[in-house]
Amino acid sequence: MSVLSLTGVSRWYGTVVAVNDVTFEVGPGITGLLGPNGAGKTTLLHMMAGFLAPSAGEVRLDATPTWRHPEIYRQIGFVPEREAVYTFLTAHQFVLASARLSGVPEPEAAADRAIDMVELRDAANRPIGGYSKGMRQRAKVAAALVHDPPTLILDEPFNGMDPRQRLSMMDLLRAMAADGRTILFSSHILEEVERLSDRVLVVVAGRLAASGDFRRIRRLMTDRPHSFTLRSSDDRRLARELLAAPEVESVELRDGVLTLRTGDYGALTRAVAPAAQRAGVSLFELRPADESLESVFSYLVRR
């Protein structure tokens, strides 16, 4: 059992603040680090894995600061986002070298086990240079878990994997978490985090926007005001009809675009079609206006 803890951690590059006063703890189980690209996820993970010095604050694995303490790598397995690998090695050689450098007692057996865990047996004796992105990713994961670390940190581990590989990697991580390991992975894809993690940390623009149980955060996300744009045969008439509906908070008709705002996503989508029918208007399109992950994140930050 190991716990990664960050206390008042900031990191800046020159005048650019990448991570701003972040405090949290990651314990056993799967934790997802969610945020848009450029939010500071990699900077956070690199500080946790001891590859970056915090400009302020402290990052510890249990009692040991992660920066400048290479002995922590007996406890940590790290899967970087960068695709760079030793292209001239086969996966077996790569994982075996990892086992040896980690000081594993039976490196051959450990390498075989790790390769089986990521289902890379068939390709294990081919040079990594010829691998697909998903296969490289699995080779990296095998190298990171070959020494059976209690903590696993993965930066965007599902990038480049096809859906089947994604599912089996999720199963693998779940099984490892069930054994009491601390697993932290980053992603910019909401669904990945939703399917895998018990707990999420949401980072936006270097700050921790939300943390805790995923369902609670999901509710925060769905309860926020939503905007929809509409196209119909008679927008003005439909607007009048919708204004009377209790689900609709506001209606705006500007530059020929009809925009609705609501606090209840589901009820609104159910109310629009009957309203159009009542008004005798043909409905062409109903489109959520702000469903991008970025807008969800920025909403969370404002709260």
Give me the sign of the Cα torsion angle 42, 47, 52, 57. positive
The DSSP element (H or E) to which 136 belongs, if any, is helix 133-145
Q: Rounded to whole angstroms, how far apart are CA atoms 24 and 176?
A: 22
85 is an interface residue for other proteins by CB under 8 A: yes
The encoded tokens of residue 104 equal 């594993």
51 is an interface residue for other proteins by CB under 8 A: yes
Which three-class secondary structure state does DSSP give residue 260? strand
302 is an interface residue for other proteins by CB under 8 A: no
Residue 55 phi/psi, 5-degree rounding, is: -75, -30
The encoded tokens of residue 232 equal 């119909």
Cβ closer to other proteins: 33 or 242? 33
49 is an interface residue for other proteins by CB under 8 A: yes
The encoded tokens of residue 292 equal 């991008």
Candidate residues 10, 58, 86, 261; the one interacting with other proteins per rule CB under 8 A: 86
144 is an interface residue for other proteins by CB under 8 A: yes
CB of 131 to other proteins, least distance (A): 14
**Binding-site string for other proteins from residue 272 to residue 291, where x marks contact by CB under 8 A and - marks none:** --------------------
With beta carbons less than 8 A apart as the criterion, state whether 152 and 176 touch. yes
Q: Rounded to whole angstroms, how far apart are CA atoms 87 and 81?
A: 16
CB of 134 to other proteins, least distance (A): 18
89 is an interface residue for other proteins by CB under 8 A: yes
53 is an interface residue for other proteins by CB under 8 A: yes
Count of positions on this chain that bind other proteins (CB under 8 A): 40
Q: What is the pairing mode between strands 64-65 and 182-187?
A: unpaired
Query: Which chain residues interact with other proteins by CB under 8 A?
Result: 13, 18, 37-38, 40-43, 46, 49, 51-53, 68, 70-74, 76-78, 80-82, 84-86, 88-89, 94, 97-98, 100-103, 143-144, 155
